[in-house]
Structure 1
């Protein structure tokens, strides 16, 4: 297992699903982890539930660039370093292209694209001083291949892929790696809203014959975060069981 002893990590959107599984995986590998969520009480409760005692929870809305900057800067200052940032915070809403409302498009882009950019920007500033660090973004198979009824979401996740590839080129000179994972259909609360028929159809199209688990994605993120991936940057790692939408 990847050794993250003495590393300091931040996971945005870390109160449930893939985010919480990632927090747990990083903590199990020895990292000190700060998880964020929109609600402070929920974030603190989630952190308290992770074994090991090296996890804290703070409130953060990633669409607020000033808050993102100050939160990441405060964590780096408190611990004297910042080694890993996982930009997991995101939203998923579906709508046929002819029925998309303006507020849905705004939420998708402000959270998934702008929020990710703000997080990468603040992480890079904190990591440049040490000339080392790993940033992992949450893309999606939908952003890679498209998905009917999810045009806004797919567009936002394609944007995340572009952010990973572009910032990897910019930040490599500072020893900072930027990668992304692109999950397929993962067994989370978001997926449950798809309905049983849609879930069954996706399982049928997945060569491995099951939904992914949050832990499947978290282990891939943990790999990219650690020194075992020291020569890996600008990559998008599919965690999808071979699914082709």
Structure 2
């Protein structure tokens, strides 16, 4: 029986990296996509190959670029016979707080392309072969309450792209259900950078800011959900938007505006 292969965009660091570990534990062959983190990607690939004995390749590419998406898929399929799982973890984000009118046209287009159009580019290329095998898993990433199309102050482009992606994810799920392909969105809560590559055990006795459940969220919290959704027996779960927030009302926290 051939091993399944998963493509993780933005897989060299953060939540993508810890998700790679979870899938490696399951025996998946992996394609680790990165944009700038070549050293981190290669180190990760070498380590996963050594520890888990799986075949791992790294491919540079900016998912906001259509041609790069095509190249990523072509290079993946030149090594592996299939791409069975797509985890679209990469998501351009601008940390600077600014209103819609302050975004440049280039910034707006880049955020929309990287967070929304990229999923169209990639799934258009891999769904036909998934249909042939009558099996496939597509995972996208959102944010808390994305399915309600909420406003997110100072994050207009990112919020618009992810809201559109929520609808696209559900549409893919409906269109491809008959082909054994599922599509689901996982929505991380307020997981800060220092916790994105940590395990749940690291957070149990943390004295840092905690969610209502009593501890910070970690990358493992997200990776465990992704790992569950791609299992064979998870085929009944599709078109779902799953918040993993520890009970925190994330948008209510970030949308508070200080009035001078």
TMscore range, shorter length: 0.7 to 0.9
Pairwise mapping of residues 144-163 of structure 1 onto structure 2 (< 5 A)? 144=147, 145-163=150-168
Which structure: larger Rg? 2
User: 1:74-104: per-residue Cα shift (whole Å, max 9, x none)?
Assistant: 4345332322110111111143324333332
Partners of 1:126 and 1:37 lie apart in 2 by 24
Partner of 2:230: 225
TM-score (norm 1): 0.84
Aligned to 1:49: 47
Aligned counterparts, 1:85-96, within 5 A: 85-94=86-95, 95-96=97-98
1:47-70 deviations in whole A, cap 9, x for unaligned?
223332422211122123233234
User: How much is the aligned-residue C-alpha RMSD, in angstroms?
Assistant: 2.4
TM-score normalized by the length of structure 2: 0.79
User: 1:142, CA displacement in angstroms?
Assistant: 6.4
Aligned length: 230
Runs of at least 5 residues in structure 2 that lack an aligned partner in the other structure:
197-207, 252-260
Cα separation, partners in 2 of 1:65 and 1:102, compared to 1, 3 Å: closer
Asked if 1:21 is matched to 2:18, the reply is yes
Q: Which runs of 5+ in 1 are unaligned?
A: 192-201
Q: Which residue of 2 aligns with 1:121?
A: 124
**Cα gap change, 1:190/1:113 in structure 2, threshold over 3 Å: closer, same or farther?**
farther
Residue 33 of structure 1: CA displacement? 1.0
Choose 148-157 or 233-242, whichever is displaced more.
148-157
Distance 1:132 1:207 in 2: 37
Tell me the residue number matched to 2:257: none
1:216 counterpart residue number? 221
Deviation at 1:162, TM superposition (A): 1.2
Distance (Å, rounded) in 2 between the aligned partners of 1:152 and 1:209: 32
